[in-house]
Amino acid sequence: MVERRFSKLFQKGSLFRLAQKYQPVGNGEPAGETDEERELTAIEQEKEVTALPPKDACKCHKEDLAKSLHVDLQTGLSEFSVLQRRITHGWNEFIVDNTEPIWKKYLDQFKNPLILLLLASALVSVITKEYEDAVSIAMAVLIVVTVAFIQEYRSEKSLEELNKLVPPECNCIREGKLQHLLARELVPGDIVCLSIGDRVPADIRLIEVTDLLVDESSFTGEAEPCSKTDDPLLEAGDLTTLSNVVFMGTLVRYGKGKGIVIGTGENSQFGEVFKLMQAEETPKTPLQKSMDKLGKQLTLFSFCIIGLIMLIGWLQGKHLLSMFTIGVSLAVAAIPEGLPIVVTVTLVLGVLRMAKKRVIVKKLPIVETLGCCNVICSDKTGTLTANEMTVTQLVTSDGFQAEVSGVGYSGKGSVCLLPSKEVINEFSNVSVGKLVEAGCVANNAIIRKNTVMGQPTEGALIALAMKMELSDIKDIYIRKKEIPFSSEQKWMAVKCTLKNQGQEDIYFMKGAFEEVIQYCTMYNNGGIPLPLMPQQNASYLQEERRMGSLGLRVLALASGPELGRLTFLGLVGIIDPPRAGVKEAVQLLFESGVSVKMITGDALETAMAIGRSIGLSNGKLKAMSGEELDHVAESELSSAVKNVSVFFRTSPKHKLKIIKALQGAGAIVGMTGDGVNDAVALKSADIGVAMGQAGTDVSKEAANMILVDDDFSAIMSAIEEGKGIFYNIKNFVRFQLSTSISALSLITLSTVFNLPNPLNAMQILWINIIMDGPPAQSLGVEPVDKDAIKQPPRNITDTILSRALILKIFMSAIIIISGTLFVFWKEIPESGTTPRTTTMTFTCFVFFDLFNALTCRSQTKLIFEIGFFRNRMFLYSVLGSLLGQMAVIYIPPLQKIFLTENLGALDLLFLTGLSSSVFIVSELIKLCEKHCCRTKKVKNRHDV
Residue 795 phi/psi, 5° resolution? Answer: -75, 130
Prior bond to 419 cis, omega within 30?
yes
User: Quick one: DSSP state of residue 786?
Assistant: G
Rounded Cα distance between 687 and 278, Å, is 17
Span between the terminal Cα atoms of the chain, in Å: 75
Contacts of 779 (CB under 8 A, 6+ apart): 342, 728, 731, 732, 735, 853, 856, 857, 874
CA angle 592, 595, 597 (to 5 degrees): 150
Amino acid at 178: L
Amino acid at 454: G
**Contact (Cβ atoms closer than 8 angstroms) between residue 294 and residue 800:** yes
**Contact (Cβ atoms closer than 8 angstroms) between residue 246 and residue 257:** yes
Catalytic (active site) residue 379: yes
Rounded Cα distance between 180 and 174, Å, is 10
Rounded Cα distance between 650 and 681, Å, is 12
Q: How many CB atoms lie within 10 A of CB 545?
A: 11
CA angle 99, 103, 108 (to 5 degrees): 90
Q: What is the enclosing helix (H) or strand (E) of 278?
A: helix 269-279
Rounded Cα distance between 819 and 193, Å, is 86
What are the Cα distances from residue 645, in Å, to 594, 595, 664?
12, 8, 17
Contacts of 45 (CB under 8 A, 6+ apart): 24, 70
Q: Which of 697, 631, 688 is nearest to 656 (CA)?
A: 688
**Distance, CA of 106 to chain centre:** 25
Residue 690 phi/psi, 5° resolution? Answer: -110, 160
* DSSP calls for 825-845: HHH--TT---HHHHHHHHHHH
Rounded Cα distance between 651 and 848, Å, is 60
**Contact (Cβ atoms closer than 8 angstroms) between residue 278 and residue 679:** no
User: In 863-872, which positions are buried (b, 16+ CB within 10 angstroms) versus exposed (e)?
Assistant: eeeeeeeebe
Amino acid at 449: K
Rounded Cα distance between 306 and 301, Å, is 9
Q: Which of 220, 184, 224, 218 is nearest to 202 (CA)?
A: 184
Q: Cα torsion at 436, 438, 440, 441 (round to 10°)?
A: 160
What are the Cα distances from residue 857, in Å, to 259, 350, 777, 846?
67, 17, 11, 17
**Contact (Cβ atoms closer than 8 angstroms) between residue 255 and residue 211:** yes
Q: How many CB atoms lie within 10 A of CB 620?
A: 8
**Contact (Cβ atoms closer than 8 angstroms) between residue 769 and residue 880:** no
Of 190, 198, 203, 379, which residue is the catalytic one?
Answer: 379
Q: What is the enclosing helix (H) or strand (E) of 635?
A: helix 634-642
Q: Which of 704, 640, 675 is nearest to 282 (CA)?
A: 704
Q: What is the 3-state secondary structure (H, E, C) of 637-706?
A: HHHHHHCCCEEECCCHHHHHHHHHHHHHCCCCEEEEECCHHHHHHHHHCCEEEEECCCCCHHHHHHCCEE
**Distance, CA of 299 to chain centre:** 35
Rounded Cα distance between 382 and 152, Å, is 27
* DSSP calls for 836-871: HHHHHHHHHHHHHHHHHHHHTT-SSS-HHHH-TTS-
Active site residues: 379
